[in-house]
Amino acid sequence: MNASPALNAGERAAFDRDGLLVLRGWSPPDLVEAVREASVRQLAARQGPLELEAEVGYPGAPASTTTPGGETVRRLLRAYDRGEAFRALATSPALGQVLRELMLPPGSTEPVLLAQSHHNCVMTKMPSFSSLTNWHQDVRYWSYQRPELVSAWFALGAETEENGCLSFIPGTHRMNFGRDRLDDQLFLRTDREDNRALLGTVVTPALAAGDVVLFHCRLFHAAGRNRTQATKFSMVCTYRTADNLPLKGTKSASVGDVVV
């Protein structure tokens, strides 16, 4: 671990307030290119495990795997196992220090772990048949002692609204939402006035290759469809502190985690 802080006080305060932090040009260019090239090759070879758009069924996805576009890949799963470049990007010492500064009290020596059961993938948003993802909190899928995890979204190329980049509602990680403000699938209901007021605060950061977005697992976020002619590649990983254990018998505890 480096002796000097990786983040300044303003960056730490911004993450606490907003639930997200954009680190511009943070990932080493050669490592970003290595992960992107490997992802392109593995997508072309359909190297599993994979998740298909049709399996998720979000708006815009093919109705089934047997309809046109039904074999469109949404994610290359188990990124940590896909090669050394993926592991290096996901578990770099510099990233570990940033996460410790955001997730642990000052001076703590507790480790941060890569949670292999969630995210741990390369998102492959294809030009055709890509779906949009409505407003949601990732923690709805996860089972831990505390809803306190942080995800890192690694841009492997340009990300804009046109090719379906992420949007966020700042500060929602600090808010409590009653069940009535969510639909049956736990997406934020956009027909409610109180929720529409929140949507007026949305931020949509455009990203370049090498940028990283860190965001809290309770932060509402969404993503649009890819309206360009090129596939968008992004790697996303999620991290927990060592004392925030997954609940036994759940998917969150199904794969061992990795110390960063």
Q: Give me the DSSP letters along 171-213.
A: TGGG----GGGB-TTSPBPTTSHHHHHHHTT-B---B-TT-EE
The structural domains of the chain, with segments of one domain joined by +, span: 9-45+78-259
Summarised one tens digit per residue, pLDDT across range 110-167 is 899 999 999 999 999 999 888 999 999 999 989 999 999 999 999 999 999 999 999 9
At residue 72, does pLDDT exceed 80? Answer: yes
What confidence category does residue 105 fall into, taking pLDDT thresholds of 50, 70 and 90?
Answer: very high
Task: Give the pLDDT band (50/70/90) at residue 2.
Answer: very low
Judge whether 110 and 215 are in contact, CB under 8 Å.
Answer: no
Q: Is the pLDDT of residue 106 over 70?
A: yes
Q: How high is the mean pLDDT of the chain?
A: 95
List the one residue out of 121, 127, 113 whose CA is nearest residue 162: 127
The pLDDT of residue 5 = 87
pLDDT for the residue 3: 54
Alpha-carbon span 17 to 196, nearest angstrom = 20
What CA–CA distance (Å, rounded) separates 6 from 98?
6
Architecture of domain 9-45+78-259 in this structure: Sandwich (2.60)
Predicted TM-score of the model (pTM): 0.95
Of 21, 26, 257, 1, nearest in space to 144 by CA: 257
Query: What is the model's pLDDT at position 237?
Result: 98
Q: Exposed, middle or buried, 9 (CB in 10 Å: 0-12/13-18/19+)?
A: exposed
pLDDT, tens digit (0-9, with 9 covering 90-100), for 13-39: 999 999 999 999 999 999 999 999 999
